[in-house]
Amino acid sequence: MGQAIHVVVVTGMSGAGRTSALRVLEDLGYFCVDNLPPALAPELARLVEGDISRLGLGIDVRTGTFLERAAATLDELGEAGHDTEVIFLDAADEVLVRRFSESRRPHPLAPDGDVLEGIRAERERLASLRTRARHVIDTTTSSVHDLRRSLIDYIARGGGRPRLAIRVVSFGFKYGLPVDADLVFDLRFLPNPHFVDELRPQTGLDAPVADYVLRTEEAQELLGDLRPLLAHTIPRYEREGKAYLTIAIGCTGGRHRSVAMTEELGRWLIAEGHDAATAHRDVGR
């Protein structure tokens, strides 16, 4: 047998957030397949062994008679050595009825429009899966963001939380803001190497320019503010389930001040143990 896979089966009531939960698992690095007939899950696990270590499966009543195989499939996955668990999404009947009314989507078990009756029938069909659930999430009063936080916290307790990927990018304000920027810092108040003849042809990647920028009192004060700010905010971005964070550092042309500061912050983030990389959008302009 190949490497054991962590298999998370996401199931539950239609309208309770199963699709959103699968998206969260994808962000957490799981290879996700929605509405796969349960009987095919062991074969899928065999096919991906050695290539992936996390598998997310969405199962609901749309699988029809295949649903009857769900319990046996879970046993088969466990016997094959895979760490298999069920996460069940639930919500109060009246809330599910309202959600279907607001979305104007038909309930899979209510083709005649009797949503409440469809919900009751669905509960009966999913009862055995609910008893197998290692974790039940009630989304009656939850938003999509609440669901995301709950799932991330749950997976993290099992070591499944991915590292936040941080990208520090320098840019020139004259060319516009980076479209993917989450945090933007303006360095145009720092002394500009552009006005020093011997430094103008160089960039912030060159030691003379970096020294000129970073050794100024203003730059040191800025670093003294940025480091604790990022140390405070980054864990909170992680807690909210953000997978990527782009920190944009700008100066006028994006060649000198912003480049030097971006490299300095990148080094500091890596030294602090973060998954960080730097990029310089406008340094070649």
Domain CATH for 71: 3.40.50.300
Closest of 259, 243, 242, 239 to residue 251, by C-alpha: 259
pLDDT at site 51: 87
Query: Which residues, at least 6 apart from 145, have a Cβ–Cβ distance to it below 8 Å?
Result: 240
pLDDT at site 30: 94
Question: Does residue 173 share a domain with residue 144?
Answer: no
The percentage of residues in the chain with a pLDDT greater than 90, rounded to a whole number, is 55
How much is the average pLDDT of 228-232? 97
Domain boundary, last residue among 108, 132, 157:
157
Question: Does residue 19 share a domain with residue 78?
Answer: yes
Q: Is residue 1 part of a domain?
A: no
Q: Which amino acid is at 7?
A: V
Question: Does residue 244 share a domain with residue 192?
Answer: yes
Question: Does residue 118 share a domain with residue 80?
Answer: yes
Question: Does residue 30 share a domain with residue 54?
Answer: yes
How much is the average pLDDT of 76-80? 91
Q: Which amino acid is at 46?
A: R
Question: Does residue 176 share a domain with residue 129?
Answer: no
pLDDT at site 65: 67
Domain boundary, last residue among 139, 157, 175:
157
Domain boundary, last residue among 128, 157, 186:
157
Instruction: Using the predicted structure, report yes or no on whether residue 228 has a pLDDT greater than 80.
Output: yes
Domain count, the chain: 2
Q: Is residue 239 part of a domain?
A: yes
Q: Is residue 249 part of a domain?
A: yes
Where does the pLDDT of residue 160 fall: very low under 50, low under 70, confident under 90, or very high at 90 and above?
A: very low
Q: Higher confidence at residue 169 or residue 131?
A: 169
Lowest-confidence segment of 63-67, 81-85, 215-219, 275-279 by average pLDDT: 63-67
The percentage of residues in the chain with a pLDDT greater than 70, rounded to a whole number, is 95
Question: Does residue 145 share a domain with residue 242?
Answer: no
Q: What is the per-residue burial (b if ≥16 Cβ within 10 Å, else e) of 236-268?
A: ebbeebbeebbbbbbbbbbbbbbbbbbbbbbeb
pTM for the model: 0.59
Q: Within a 10 A sphere around the Cβ of 140, how many other Cβ atoms?
A: 12
Question: Does residue 260 share a domain with residue 191?
Answer: yes
Q: Is residue 285 part of a domain?
A: no
Lowest-confidence segment of 54-63, 153-162, 195-204 by average pLDDT: 153-162
Instruction: Using the predicted structure, report yes or no on whether residue 163 has a pLDDT greater than 80.
Output: no
Contact 245, 166 (CB under 8 A): yes
Question: Does residue 173 share a domain with residue 145?
Answer: no
Question: Does residue 24 share a domain with residue 152?
Answer: yes
Mean pLDDT of the chain: 89
pLDDT at site 249: 98
Q: Is residue 143 part of a domain?
A: yes
- Partners of residue 11 on adjacent β-strands: 88
Question: Does residue 141 share a domain with residue 213?
Answer: no
Residue 247 belongs to what domain range?
165-280
CA pair distance 248, 246, nearest whole angstrom: 6
Q: Is residue 233 part of a domain?
A: yes
Q: Is residue 89 part of a domain?
A: yes
Cα 102 to its chain centre, rounded Å, is 27
Question: Does residue 91 share a domain with residue 37?
Answer: yes
